Amino acid sequence: MKLQLKRPASLLLALSLCGALAGCGSTAETTSQATGETASGEAVSGTDAEDAYAYLADFDYSSVFDEKGYLKGVNALDYVTLPEDFEHLTLSADAESVSEEAVREYITDNVLSNYATTAQETERAAENGDSVNIDYVGSIDGVEFEGGNSGGSGYDLTLGSGTFIDDFEDQIVGHIPGETFDVVVTFPENYGNEELSGKEALFKTTLNHINVTVTPELTDDWVMDNLYEQMGLEDVASLNSFVNDSLLFEQQANAVYSQLSQNSTLSEELPEDAVNYFRDLYLSRYYVMASAYGMTLDDLFSAYGIGTTEDFLAAYQSSFEDSVRQQLIMQAVAESRGIVCDDKAMEENFQRFFGSVDSSLYEESYGTNYIRMSLMQDLAIQSLVDSATFA
């Protein structure tokens, strides 16, 4: 089985980060409408003041790494026996290049899409799959019911998504923005609201506009205006080159790590601090999500059908341990080859592997030693690629 290297900081992270920075200020909102249902179908509870995982709010990404990018106080070669020929791995000829189509697709899907804007189409009929903006007033037997009125504020709805009850979205298809029309639906018998369950309702609906995604045209000027300050990219050619090199490194990294990991021997006992760290790393992402919705971790995992937090930890224990094993293998390579991520290595390699001319934003978010660890792994992988044989 081919194993993939889970890179702590993706080579292409800066591209998506730039897009996120360009769009900062937008927020995700959740609304409760009588015409739709929540993902879980249940109300969420507030954050527990006695939350045992509250420490995750201040998770320190750099806590277990030292200034070289190594696990603190850990000699990886005490845990890992590398294969005798690890310095001369074999890569297939396919790993020597990336297609122009792959580069174009990546730029379209992961760069330009981050800068897409939304325009309002008003001249054509709505089609299944369109994102539309509507207003509606719902009534049963001529009497409006609570929660069935958009209040004239407009509601964005993707037709065919099943967000609203059966047949509602289908009845919008074919209408032109500016039209007001009746949508007649029947609430399910088990809707969850006795006053609405099984009842036929009429929604006086107005189609305001169709939302159309506008992707920017890729030009030299666009690259200079949007990617130069953060990434140092000046034109389309430099963007193509960066993405090509990035994708090439990704596929070569996966190829050499797959061989290396399959042929290395690891101790069954792993450093406890490292296992606990990667457990908290996984959990912290879910904790942030739960907190954003006023939920505890148990609330969140229950809503997703996982069970309790303890159930999650039990189910993903092997993933935490696999992350430690990867860390130990890559550190063992670095120890064997004398690779460290000191100040000089940071200065010389940060832009190449992170795609950014400025490390301060990353260090502020993750801490310097986490960035050093990530670069140490990249440098170790690059050394294996450099000494590999292409067959």
Domain boundaries, the chain: 13-38+47-115+219-390, 117-214
Confidence label for 29 from pLDDT (cuts 50, 70 and 90): very low
Confidence label for 33 from pLDDT (cuts 50, 70 and 90): very low
Q: How far is CA 1 from the centre of its chain?
A: 25
94 or 140, higher pLDDT: 140
In this predicted structure, the answer to whether residue 35 has a pLDDT above a threshold of 80 is no
In this predicted structure, the answer to whether residue 289 has a pLDDT above a threshold of 60 is yes
Report the distance separating Cα 107 and Cα 362, nearest Å.
Answer: 22
Beta bridge partners of 169: none
Span 109-124, average pLDDT: 95
Span 228-237, average pLDDT: 93
The encoded tokens of residue 113 equal: 């899409």
Cα-atom radius of gyration of the chain, to the nearest Å?
Answer: 26
- Residue for token pair 């159309």: 212
User: Which 8-state DSSP code applies to residue 198?
Assistant: T
The encoded tokens of residue 306 equal: 């996982």
Q: How far is CA 174 from the centre of its chain?
A: 35
CA 39-45-51 angle, to 5 degrees, is 120
- Ranges 35-39, 260-264, 336-340: which has the least confidence: 35-39
User: For residue range 173-229, what is the model confidence (pLDDT) as tens digits?
Assistant: 999 999 999 999 999 888 778 888 899 999 999 999 999 999 999 999 999 999 999
In the chain, what is the straight-line distance between the N-terminal and C-terminal CA atoms, in Å?
Answer: 19
What pLDDT is stored for residue 224 in this prediction? Answer: 97
Report the distance separating Cα 6 and Cα 323, nearest Å.
Answer: 8
What pLDDT is stored for residue 347 in this prediction? Answer: 92
> DSSP letters along 234-276, please?
-SHHHHHHHHHHHHHHHHHHHHHHHHHHHT-EE-SS--HHHHH
Report the distance separating Cα 2 and Cα 23, nearest Å.
Answer: 37
Residue whose C-alpha is closest to residue 385's, from 86, 76, 68, 4: 86
Span 46-62, average pLDDT: 77
In this predicted structure, the answer to whether residue 40 has a pLDDT above a threshold of 60 is no
Span 287-297, average pLDDT: 91
Work out the number of other CB atoms within 10 angstroms of the CB of residue 108: 12
Residue whose C-alpha is closest to residue 127's, from 63, 212, 201: 212
- pTM equals 0.72
3-class state of residue 15 by DSSP: helix
In the chain, % of residues over pLDDT 90: 72
- Residue for token pair 């937090």: 309
Out of 1.10.10.10, 3.40.1350.10, 3.10.50.40, 3.10.450.50, which CATH number does the structure's domain 117-214 have? 3.10.50.40
Contact 339, 386 (CB under 8 A): no
Residue whose C-alpha is closest to residue 378's, from 322, 330, 306: 330
Report the distance separating Cα 354 and Cα 350, nearest Å.
Answer: 6
Span 343-356, average pLDDT: 91
3-class state of residue 53 by DSSP: coil
Contact 350, 366 (CB under 8 A): no
Q: Is the dihedral of CA 327, 330, 336, 342 positive or negative?
A: negative
Beta bridge partners of 201: 185
What pLDDT is stored for residue 194 in this prediction? Answer: 81
What pLDDT is stored for residue 39 in this prediction? Answer: 27
What pLDDT is stored for residue 85 in this prediction? Answer: 86
In this predicted structure, the answer to whether residue 118 has a pLDDT above a threshold of 80 is yes
Span 119-147, average pLDDT: 95
In this predicted structure, the answer to whether residue 17 has a pLDDT above a threshold of 90 is no
In the chain, % of residues over pLDDT 70: 87
User: For residue range 251-268, what is the model confidence (pLDDT) as tens digits?
Assistant: 999 999 999 999 999 999
What pLDDT is stored for residue 125 in this prediction? Answer: 97
